[in-house]
Chains A and B, each alone.
Chain A
Amino acid sequence: MSGLIKKDLLIIKANIKTILIIAFIFVFNSSKMLFMLPFLCVMFLITTFSYDDFNNWHAYAITFPSGRKNIVKSKYILTIIIIIFSILATGLITAIIDHTKGNFDFDQTLSSLFGCILAISIIVSIMYPLIFKFGVEKGRIILFVIIFSISLMGSFLISSNVLLTFLQNVDKYAIILLPVITISLLLISYFISLKVYLKKEF
């Protein structure tokens, strides 16, 4: 399976210039924009799926001894690695920049990072099963519809104040809740993807 993860890392490496350029633009703009970095990384994870689809990699990879299960698993493991790495990098850079400016707020940075992790986990968990089922192109359209309906629902919840009171209460337990929520989201998503992928034909 390490070979499969390596393949995606090499694709990301081939795109590294673009990632770094965009990252620098963010940093020079404003350190608050840095929180876009993890989302950017997820975007590049999704481009690995695009390359896969474009060259029918999946059909080819199935002829390897790795097996279908590991093809799915490798994507999720890579995603977790990338999330951890990008969050750590973002936190570190933010801390350094804010510290030199003398306005570093530990609690705020931490909660922003937590927010990032949660948002990314939700996006990934919804998106991957869709991509495994429909491919990147079709999956993207379906994701758009889903995000649109979620945000519609969200704006309704916010306007009705239900979510706000909920979030205020949840904040205290965030450190315990966050890993639990993130891991269960990704696990559920993984099992759905796996079920889809084991049956899929190429």
Chain B
Amino acid sequence: MKNAIEVKNLVKEYKDFKLDNINLEIKKGCIVGLIGENGAGKTTLIKSLLNIIKISKGNIKIFDKDYIKNEQIIKDDIGVVLDNMFFPEILSPKDINLIMKDIFKKWDEQIFNKYLKDFGLSKNKKIKEMSKGMRKKLEIATALSHHPKLLILDEPTSGLDPVVRSEVLDIFLNFIQNEENTILLSTHITSDLENIADHIVFIDNGKKVLDKSRDDIIDNYGILKCDIKYFDKIDKNDIVKYKKNKYDCQILVDNINEIRNKYKDCIIDKITLDDLMVLMVKGEK
């Protein structure tokens, strides 16, 4: 098995939105970051993978198996954190443990209790009495406690303070250490991905616009900043996207080293995922 997730020509149509012909291969042992604007289709993609919504067209394989035909076997090995979808809030972590014991074959009470302790969560506190950050931590603890092989996480770090966030990211890094486990996570906090993701998938307006390894992006993409008058001197083939301001302009380039040699009098910065997102979405071509 090479790929944990394989998506072919996935289409999901709504009245006012369409997830358009997504092809995706998520290699086993990787952390893949899913980025995009609000409403770009990240959650729709994640819900499609989990059969929470029915796809209009296409083909999805998880662990090399058809995701509908083998749904039950597959889902025994998946852990999820979804945005605003969890246990009824009147329940407590203790209740969750009692329930999950019967749901997942490999539910590990000891690990669950250990996570609760590490995260400083009380067993008897009802979910509705927890802060947003505590709920997120509980959701993450729950997702990890049946020894899943694949984690599908929608905004798992939102609402967490920087200290807990780095704690959680360490857990994720640890999780893939055995090279068998895989993580797909969507996030707005792109700096998290710069630290841990092996691969970045960028979705905009229902279409996949970028699917590259993090190193490829960090090493090769850059922003060329120049005076607005200078813009016309730049070879159009070198421009991926550009954004013109009143006096200057920013140009997204995907081969930073060549560009540095070619335009020696321009400032060319390394890219952050945030800048990449803004330029890809808002920039012109």
Question: A interface vs B, CB < 8 Å?
Answer: 1-4, 6-7, 10-11, 14-15, 48, 51-52, 54-57, 59-60, 62-67, 199, 201-202
CA distance A67 to B71 in the complex (A): 8
Other-chain residue from A1, A3, A15, A62 in contact with B100 (beta carbon distance below 8 A) = A3
Report the minimum CB–CB distance from A5 to chain B (whole Å).
Answer: 9
Q: List 12 A-B contacts (CB under 8 A).
A: A2-B102, A3-B99, A4-B99, A7-B91, A11-B90, A11-B91, A51-B89, A56-B86, A57-B88, A60-B80, A62-B52, A67-B72
B53 proximal to A (CB < 8 A): yes
Residues of B within 8 A of A57 (CB): 85-88
CA distance A2 to B100 in the complex (A): 10
Question: B interface vs A, CB < 8 Å?
Answer: 47, 50-54, 71-73, 75-76, 78, 80, 82, 84-91, 95, 98-105, 126-127, 152
Residues of A within 8 A of B126 (CB): 14
Decide: A64 and B47 in contact? CB cutoff 8 A. Answer: no
Report the minimum CB–CB distance from A1 to chain B (whole Å).
Answer: 8
Report the minimum CB–CB distance from A192 to chain B (whole Å).
Answer: 19
Decide: B50 and A199 in contact? CB cutoff 8 A. Answer: no
Q: A63-B75, A63-B80 are in contact. Are A10 and B95 (CB under 8 A)?
A: yes
Decide: B89 and A201 in contact? CB cutoff 8 A. Answer: no
Decide: A64 and B75 in contact? CB cutoff 8 A. Answer: yes
Number of A-B contacts (CB under 8 A): 92
Excluding A4-B99, A60-B82, A64-B75, 5 further A-B contacts by CB distance (< 8 Å) are: A2-B102, A7-B87, A14-B126, A51-B88, A62-B50
Other-chain residue from B50, B80, B85, B91 in contact with A14 (beta carbon distance below 8 A) = B91
Decide: A7 and B53 in contact? CB cutoff 8 A. Answer: no
Residues of A within 8 A of B105 (CB): 65
CA distance A202 to B85 in the complex (A): 10
Residues of B within 8 A of A6 (CB): 98-99, 102
Decide: B85 and A7 in contact? CB cutoff 8 A. Answer: no
CA distance A197 to B223 in the complex (A): 49
Decide: B86 and A55 in contact? CB cutoff 8 A. Answer: yes
Other-chain residue from A10, A59, A199, A201 in contact with B85 (beta carbon distance below 8 A) = A59
Residues of B within 8 A of A65 (CB): 71-73, 75-76, 103-105
Which 7 residue pairs across A and B have the least CB separation, nearest first?
A: A3-B102, A51-B88, A56-B85, A3-B103, A201-B53, A65-B75, A60-B85
